[in-house]
Amino acid sequence: MFTQPNATPQTYEKVDGTYGTGKYKPAWYTTDASLPDHTLYLPKTIPAGVKLPVVLWANGGCGGNGVAWLSPLVEWASHGMLVIADGAPNGRSRDTAALMKKALDWVNANAGKGAYAQVDGKRVGISGQSCGGLVAYEVEGDKRVTAVGIFNSGALNAAQRQVVPKFSKPIAYFLGGKTDIAYAQGTADYNALPKGLPAWKGNVESGHGGTFCRPAGGEYGKAGSQWWKWQLRGDPSAKAFFTEPGAKDMGWQAVSQNLDKAPVPEALPGN
């Protein structure tokens, strides 16, 4: 089912120095002929009895290169996720909501079956950076989505702004401070969310490019892994990052609402 890409662990190690820091490391990426316009990230070994929830990722710059955000996606996979990035490895297509929806349809058709028997298709997060965050905006309303993570992004026009007050899934915004060109938009969108929606917004002084190129994706990779572990794996220990000083201790300036009301799923075995 899987096809190992033309990249070696040695090449990755030179770039990043790690295969992820989670308990399911080493993680890596691969491809599947039945989903040719995407790149899949997952642990190299999945212990018996362990289920992997799913994170869908849309790229910044609207580019269709599924390994452009290699570091944080490998990091998230190492914490027990199947991460599916829009675009083939080193692909040149344009990232769109249609690509993310195609991945969502594929998960719906394949999770729990065959080579993906340990994938839990009922727990699906969507996310993206910059332009990719706006791709995720277009997919948020799909009933199969259970949580959202938005990185360095926010609505750019009236049509995008109109959907924000209708959001219905727990959402976290990860922004790069006032030097982030998406800071004002992301902040405005957070403020426009439904008042009863569980939501978190954090800023770390990194600018629009974030810390994605650092080992494990830096602060963004580590914070994102905590969000997915809490929202998708149901890991109670990850909640503290958002509801207690955990984020602040890592340099994040954060605000939140209704996190105690977030519909967190039952904890998966192996957390």
Measure the CA angle with vertex 62, ends 15 and 177; round to 5°.
70
Ramachandran angles phi, psi of 259, nearest 5°: -65, -25
What is the mean pLDDT of the segment spanning 13-29?
76
The pLDDT assigned to 11 comes to 46
Give the pLDDT score at 3: 41
26 or 144: which carries more pLDDT confidence?
A: 144
| Banded pLDDT at 14 (limits 50, 70, 90) | very low
Compute the 3-state secondary structure of the chain and give helix, strand, coil in percent, each to the nearest 5: 35, 25, 40
CATH at 240? 3.40.50.1820
Asked whether residue 271 is domain-assigned, the answer is no
pLDDT bucket at 12, cuts 50 / 70 / 90? very low
Residue 270 maps to a domain:
no
Higher-scoring residue by pLDDT: 1, 76: 76
Tell whether 266 is covered by a domain: no
Decide if 192 is inside a domain.
Answer: yes
For the residues 18-33, what does the mean pLDDT come to?
89
- CA 158 to CA 27: how far, in whole Å? 40
Per-residue model confidence (pLDDT) at position 269? 84
Q: Using CA atoms, how far apart are residues 105 and 263, in angstroms rounded to an integer?
A: 23
Assigned domain for 28 exists: yes
pLDDT digits (tens, 9 = 90+) for 32-67: 999 999 999 999 889 999 999 999 999 998 888 999
257, part of any domain: yes
> Does 17 have pLDDT greater than 80?
no
Between strands 63-64 and 93-94, the pairing is: antiparallel
Structure tokens at 72: 């944080």
Query: Is residue 256 a part of any domain in this protein?
Result: yes
Residue 204, helix vs strand vs coil: coil
Cα(106)–Cα(99) distance, integer angstroms: 11
How confident is the model over 206-218, as pLDDT tens digits? 878 877 777 888 7
Q: pLDDT digit string (tens) for 229-259?
A: 999 999 999 999 998 877 777 789 899 999 9
Domain count, the chain: 1
If you average pLDDT over every residue of the chain, what do you get?
A: 89
Residues of the chain with pLDDT > 90, as a percent, come to 69
Give a yes or no: residue 144 inside a domain: yes
What band does 81 get if pLDDT is binned at 50, 70 and 90? very high
Give residue 38's pLDDT: 96
Mean pLDDT value of segment 132-159: 96
Secondary structure of 128-154 as H, E, C letters: EECHHHHHHHHHCCCCCCCEEEEECCC
Domain extent for 78: 2-261
Average pLDDT over residues 99-119: 96
CA distance 240 to 267: 15
What average pLDDT does the segment 105-131 reach? 96
